[in-house]
Amino acid sequence: MAERQHIVHPIPAFYDEDSTVLILGSFPSVKSREMKFFYGHPRNRFWQVTAAVFGDAVPETVEERKAFLKRHHIAAWDVIASCDITGSSDASIRNVRANDLSEILRSAKIRQIYVNGKTAAKMYEKYAQESTGRTAVCLPSTSPANAAWSVERLTEAWRVIRAGE
């Protein structure tokens, strides 16, 4: 059994001044931490779902993923800056320190914040909402742990990220 470790988030926020949507996860998985970019686990459906939402090809490499986010004006980061975690288990998260979202919100034209799943929503409400003064829309998690949601159902729910494009 893996033991809980204190991990500092190794991936910088991804955004530019044209970003209009901010998508926040809770904390990167072991695979994402290894590849140093968001949603790196091959079974996480984030890239498949967002590509379907925009009618785009599924980006495979980190460079393709960055270009995809930039093209669709999506900023990506996580709520948590550091925490104690066992592997990739959101349920094991303790001792949370939140990321400061103010720079993204100051620099970009973020019209809406979305959170990827219930853990990210709880963490956002507890650690970030007061400082941002903005509520976040909770979308169903693209994690493979959310097996009750098919790619088709997820894509339908995630279509809201296109609103006002």
Tokens of 8: 């500092």
Phi, psi dihedral angles at 127 (to 5 degrees) = -115, -15
- Alpha carbon distance 20, 50 (integer Å): 15
Catalytic residue (choose from 44, 95, 99, 116): 44
Residue 156: how many CB atoms within 10 A of its CB?
Answer: 15
Q: What is the dihedral of CA 8, 11, 15, 16, to 10 degrees?
A: 100
Angle subtended at Cα 50 by Cα 45 and Cα 51, rounded to the nearest 5 degrees:
100
Judge whether 116 counts as a catalytic residue.
Answer: no
Closest CA to 149 of 124, 125, 118: 118
Q: Which residues are the active-site residues?
A: 44
